[in-house]
Each structure stands twice: as structure tokens, then as C-alpha cells.
Amino acid sequence: MKRLLLLAACIGSLAQAETVDCHVSYGGETQVIRAHPAASPYTVAPVSIGSYFMFRLVFERQPADQAAIKLYTYADREPPQGAVLLHQADYLYPPAKNGRYGFTGLQRVYEPIRDGELYYWCEWKK
């Protein structure tokens, strides 16, 4: 019985260890946004990047036929317009092998009103 409980704990910790890390750079600063598998994509909020961009990382493993990693970049505009989607990328789960810039490659997102530029790349860790 103890072995069964230990095995279940190990399997649970391995599943929790799986993450997607996105390295997001803007204005000379880089931050890592980490995501664990989400139970619902609707509960994942965007992260503010600088004073103008927002980045949202959604990592879904269930249901298996819809498993994906989804990335969204928004411009945080003044009301009434609010957040405006600038870029969206979807990747199948599990993603392709990580390369120099993870499974996404180096991505650039431009915002024409304030002439902003955001870079990101994401890696899958298991």
C-alpha cells in the first residue's frame, strides 16, 4: 500500500512539474512567464508587460483532443477600447522539439500607435 501511495505521489509531482516558460522582452527588460496546465482557459489572466502590452499564456492538456498551448499579445489601450488583440499563436500539445528559441522560435510583435516592439520565445519543460 505504501508503495502504491508513493508511486501516485511521484506521478502527481511529475505531472505538476511540466511547464511552459515564455521569455518576454520589452523595453530592455526580460521576464519569464510560466504556465502549468490549466483546468480552464477562461481562468488564465494576461500579464502586463511594461505600460502598454499584455501577454497571455494558456497551457491546456485536457481534453486530449483539444490539448494546445495558446499565446496572446494585447495592446492595453485606454477605455472604451481596452485590450486589443495584436497577435495570437496556437501550438499543438505536446509541442515540437525545443530549439535555440524553444518551440516557438523568436517572435516579434509590433504595436503601431506607440511604436512598441515586444519579443518572446517559449520553451516546454517536462
Q: pLDDT band for 111, please (50, 70, 90 cuts).
A: confident
Residues 71-102: tens digit of each pLDDT: 999 998 888 888 999 999 999 999 988 999 99
Q: Check whether 125 has a pLDDT greater than 90.
A: yes
Predicted local confidence at residue 13, as pLDDT: 46
Q: Please, are residues 87 and 117 in contact by the beta-carbon 8 Å criterion?
A: no
Residues 38-79: tens digit of each pLDDT: 999 999 999 999 989 999 999 999 999 999 999 999 998 888
* Residue numbers of the domain that contains 120: 19-125
Number of domains in the chain: 1
Write phi, then psi, for 118 (nearest 5 degrees). Answer: -120, 140
Q: What is the rounded (10 degree) CA torsion for 5, 18, 39, 66?
A: -120
In a domain, 104, yes or no: yes
User: In sequence order, what are the residues at sequence separation of 6 or more whose Cβ sits closer than 8 angstroms to the Cβ of residue 98?
Assistant: 123, 124
In a domain, 94, yes or no: yes
Predicted local confidence at residue 16, as pLDDT: 59
